Amino acid sequence: MAKGKNLIGLDIGSSGVKLTLLKDTKRGLQLVTFDSAPLPKEAIVDGAFMDSGAITDAVRELLRRNKIKQKEVALSVAGNSVIIKKIPLPPMSRQELEQSIQWEAEQYIPFDINDVYLAVEVVDQNSQPGQMDVLLVAAKKELINDYTTVIREAGLVPMVVDVDAFALQNMFEVNYGIVNGETIVLLDVGADTININVVTDGITQFTRDVSMGGNQVTEEIQKQLNITWEEAETYKRGGSGDAVIPHEVEKVIQQVSDSLAGEIQRSLDFYAATSADGQISRIYLSGGSGNLPTLGRIVGRTSGVPVELINPFRNIIADPKVFNPAYLESVGPVAAVSVGLALRRTNEQ
């Protein structure tokens, strides 16, 4: 078992902040805390922090009401300011890779190399004769600084900054294992970003972030019914109490889901066209908008691939006296990234 205590997993998304805390027990990983707090509609716009104070307040509120004293945190980023590429390089040592990656990265990164943080990982030492495959990740310093500043303002210590796609992948492997010989897709549909991660034998083959998401559904309901954003969001999520949902709502959800599914399929088609083996066996759906049953059905129909709603607590012990199983099932897709982050530990570099 890995040493070090689990970090607080903090997923800061455009619609809200999700927090997960896990701990090791003799029986396995146990859920200590999962909670979430909403953010004002335009606190984060296109990945940029427009109201850092509101984000800091949401983080502080989660810490306060869950009585969390721990300070060390793992967070993750996604969107247009993050680039992930698998690139072929000549075989070299880790030290040589570290020394040459700055120059190599300039060929693949569409940003000024001085404006980004770089990370690199060898994923296949022998992909082709005389070649190794390397996963290159670049994130704009401005984006990382936004996140870490908010975390520090909340009195916390950022220990790990991950990427949403990899946090999801870590969560998946702990709960489902590595699916050998098969290619699966981890699909996270948030409020304004769809994250696509194609994985074969536990290795990322292709990632893409699409600037679309559940907010499109809310906006269209709001526009067609001429109601407030909050009312539209409530209708999208199935209404509240005994309120009757207008029949137009399901039609809107269907129309926008068709559009989202089409965009997802274009990315999967691109992967298939550039891959030696583009056969996908299953799609695992997560994210706040992953809970829309219509979306999962349409993605499955469009792709011709079985779609399954992901359960990030599948292999994690949760005391039923503390966590209602029905509640965990309902929040599972929303919690997925934060659970992946909560698997990271204080002794990681």
Are 21 and 9 a contacting pair, CB within 8 Å? yes
pLDDT per residue as tens digits for the range 160-205: 999 999 999 999 999 999 888 899 999 999 999 999 999 998 889 8
CA quadruple 169, 299, 287, 275: dihedral, nearest 10: 30
d(CA 89, CA 96) in angstroms, rounded, equals 11
The answer to whether position 349 is within a domain reads no
Are 334 and 36 a contacting pair, CB within 8 Å? yes
d(CA 298, CA 290) in angstroms, rounded, equals 12
The answer to whether position 166 is within a domain reads yes
Q: How many domains does the chain have?
A: 1
The answer to whether position 1 is within a domain reads no
d(CA 49, CA 147) in angstroms, rounded, equals 8
CATH of the domain at 41: 3.30.420.40
Quick one: pLDDT band at residue 60, thresholds 50, 70, 90? very high
The answer to whether position 148 is within a domain reads yes
pLDDT per residue as tens digits for the range 40-52: 988 998 888 999 9
The answer to whether position 2 is within a domain reads no
pLDDT per residue as tens digits for the range 233-259: 999 988 776 778 888 999 999 999 999
d(CA 251, CA 268) in angstroms, rounded, equals 26
Average of per-residue pLDDT across 78-104: 88
The answer to whether position 347 is within a domain reads no
The answer to whether position 91 is within a domain reads yes
* This prediction's pTM: 0.93
Alpha helices, DSSP H only, in the chain?
Answer: 52-65, 94-106, 141-153, 164-176, 214-225, 229-236, 247-274, 293-303, 325-342
The answer to whether position 348 is within a domain reads no
Expressed as residue numbers, the domain containing 198 is 8-342
Residue 145 has a pLDDT of: 95
